Amino acid sequence: MRVLFITKPYIIEPLGIASLSAVLKQHGHVVDLAETQSGLDEKLKKDILYFRPDIISYSVYTGSHRFFIDLNKQIRQWLNSLNYKRVLSVFGGPHCTYFHEISEEPYVDIVFRGESDEIITKTISSLELGEEVPEVIIPESNPLDLDSLPFPDRSIIYKNPKNARNPIKNIMTSRGCPFNCAYCYNSVYNKLFKNKPVRYRSIKKVIEEARQLIDQYPETKYIFFEDDEFAAKADRVKEFSYLWKREINIPFHVQLRIDLLTEDRIAMLKEAGCNSVTFAIESGNEEWRVKILNRRISNKVILDGAKMLRDHGILFRTENMVAQPGEEIHHALETLDLNIACRPTIGWASLFQPYPRTALGEKAKELGLFNGDIDDLPQSFFDRTVLNMPEEKSRRFENLQRLFGIACSYPAIRPAVPFLISLPRNRLYDWVYKWFKQKKYNILYNVKDFPKKR
C-alpha cells in the first residue's frame, strides 16, 4: 500500500514517523511525507494527488489534535469531490494513546494506541486481504526488543533540504520513562502497558545508527539524544561513553534526572563529548515539588547537581512550569529564585497545561480551574494559560514566563520582576523572549561553532 504521512513543519525531528516509515518500507509499502502549516493548501493538494495514497496518516499530540482532525476532514471531502478512490485515514501518536475517542470523529477510520511499530504492518496486511479491522487498535505490548527494529527512515524526514542540512540531528537510545510525575501522561501510560516501561537499545546499535547518520548526512555536527532519562544506568553510561568517544567523537546533548547524576557519570559523559544537558526543576518550592508534582528531589540535590555540572564545564538548561493549579505568584517567584541560584545556561519555563487524565490535570478540574475540554488546550505550552483565574493573575504568570530566562541570566533585574510582570501583555516581552531563547540555544548546542551555511 501507499502510505502518506502529513505533518506540520518541524525543527525537532519526528522520529516516530521515521521509525514507522522504516518498518513499512521493510515490508514493501511505499511511504512519503507531506507538510502543511496552513491546512489544505494548493501545495498539499499537489503532493496528495502526485503520491496517490491509499492511507493518509497523522501523528498527533494533544493541542494539535483539532488541527489534524479538521485537516483530515477537509482532505477527505475534497477527495470525495474528485471521485478519488477510497482512502483510509489513520491516526496515531501520543494524543491517540490517551484519547482514543478521536475515533468517533468524522473521517477517522483507524486509531492506533501505543507504539505501533509491530502492529501497523499486520493491520495493513489485513486491509489488503479485505478483512475487517477494529477502529481502535492497541498492541498487547509495546516493542521489547528495540534492536530488532530498523533504524528510523531519515530520508522521509529530511526531504526538506533545510532539515537535512541542520547540523543538529536526533537519536533515541531508549523508550519509556520509569517515573510518574503528576503532570505527565507517563503515569497513565505505565498502567496502560504493564510491560517494562523503559526499554533500551544496545549501545552497539546506537553507535551503528550514529555512524550511518553521519555518513549519509555529513553536515551532522551535533547529536541531541531524545531519551527521557539518559544517565540512569552507570554501566550503560560507561559503555556508551567509551564507544562514542572512540567511534563517533562529535558533541552531544542529553536529558536526565538531576538526582540520578553522579560525579563519575558526568565525568564519563564529558570525556565522551557531552557539552550540555537538560534537567527539570518544575517548581522552586520543595514541598510543592514533592507532594503536588510527585518529584521527590530536594532543593539541595538540585543545587548540588547544578554545581556539579558547572564544575565539569557542562552547559545546562532547566525546565520549569508556572501557573500550576493552586499556585500563587510568590510560588512561581520561588521557582525563579532557585533557577537563579542554579545559574543555568538557559532557564526554560512553560505555562502549565491541564492535560486531562493526568493527576494534575484532574486536580485542575476538581478545583474548578479547567472544564476538561481538550479542544481548549493550545498547541504550545508557551503561549497562554487556560486555567480559570483572574485576568491580572494570568497576565502576571504569562509575563513571568516571557521574562523567566532573561531574569535567570541577569539576576540584577530580579528585584524589578514583580513590577515588570504586572505590566500589560505586550509584543516587546514576546520578542525579547523569542530572541533571548534562540540566543541561549545557540550557546547551549554550540551552534556558534557550526558552519555558516545551514
pLDDT in tens, 374-400: 999 988 888 899 999 999 999 999 999
Q: Is 156 a member of any domain?
A: no
Label the pairing between strands 174-175 and 30-35: unpaired
pLDDT tens across 71-105, in order? 999 999 999 999 998 899 999 999 999 999 999 99
Secondary structure (3-state) at 141: coil
Q: Name 99's Cβ contacts closer than 8 Å, sequence gap at least 6.
A: 62, 65, 356, 374
pLDDT value at residue 448: 61
pLDDT value at residue 229: 95
Distance (Å, whole) CA 206 – CA 171 = 8
Domain containing 403 — which CATH number?
3.20.20.70
Per the structure, how many domains does the chain have? 2
Residues facing residue 223 across a β-bridge: 169, 252
Compute φ and ψ for 338, nearest 5 degrees. Answer: -65, -40
Task: Let me know whether 92 and 36 are in one domain.
Answer: yes
Task: Let me know whether 342 and 390 are in one domain.
Answer: yes
Q: Is the pLDDT higher at 194 or at 282?
A: 282
Task: Let me know whether 338 and 415 are in one domain.
Answer: yes
Q: Is 155 a member of any domain?
A: no
Task: Let me know whether 103 and 239 are in one domain.
Answer: no
Q: Calculate what percentage of the chain has a pLDDT beyond 70.
A: 98
The answer to whether the CB of 172 falls within 8 A of the CB of 15 is yes
Domain containing 49 — which CATH number?
3.40.50.2300
Secondary structure (3-state) at 132: coil
Task: Let me know whether 366 and 411 are in one domain.
Answer: yes
Secondary structure (3-state) at 125: helix
Task: Let me know whether 213 and 332 are in one domain.
Answer: yes
Mean pLDDT of 297-316: 98
Using alpha carbons, list the distances in angstroms from residue 73 to 69, 146, 374.
Answer: 6, 35, 19
pLDDT value at residue 195: 63
Cell of 293: 508534582
Q: Is the pLDDT higher at 451 or at 337?
A: 337
pLDDT value at residue 452: 41
Task: Let me know whether 176 and 110 are in one domain.
Answer: no
Q: Is 317 a member of any domain?
A: yes
Distance (Å, whole) CA 203 – CA 183 = 31
Q: Is the pLDDT higher at 319 or at 451?
A: 319
Which residues span the domain enclosing 277? 166-449
Using alpha carbons, list the distances in angstroms from residue 346 to 70, 192, 317, 417, 439.
Answer: 36, 35, 5, 17, 10
Task: Let me know whether 316 and 355 are in one domain.
Answer: yes
Secondary structure (3-state) at 275: strand
Distance (Å, whole) CA 286 – CA 341 = 14
CA 324 to chain centre: 20
Mean pLDDT of 280-289: 97
Q: Which of 326, 345, 228 is nearest to 285 (CA)?
A: 326
pLDDT value at residue 83: 93
pTM over 0.85: yes
Q: Which of 275, 357, 368 is nearest to 313 (CA)?
A: 275
pLDDT tens across 166-216, in order? 999 999 999 998 898 999 988 788 778 776 678 999 999 999 999 999 999
Q: Which of 97, 63, 93, 290 is nearest to 188 (CA)?
A: 97
Residue 363 confidence (pLDDT) above 70: yes
Residue 187 Ramachandran class (φ > 0 left, ψ -120 to 50 alpha, else beta): alpha
Task: Let me know whether 104 and 184 are in one domain.
Answer: no
Amino acid at 424: P
Task: Let me know whether 300 and 427 are in one domain.
Answer: yes
pLDDT value at residue 192: 80
pLDDT value at residue 360: 95
pLDDT value at residue 135: 96
Mean pLDDT of the chain: 94
How many CB atoms are closer than 10 A to CB 431? 11
Q: Is the dihedral of CA 31, 33, 39, 41 positive or negative?
A: negative
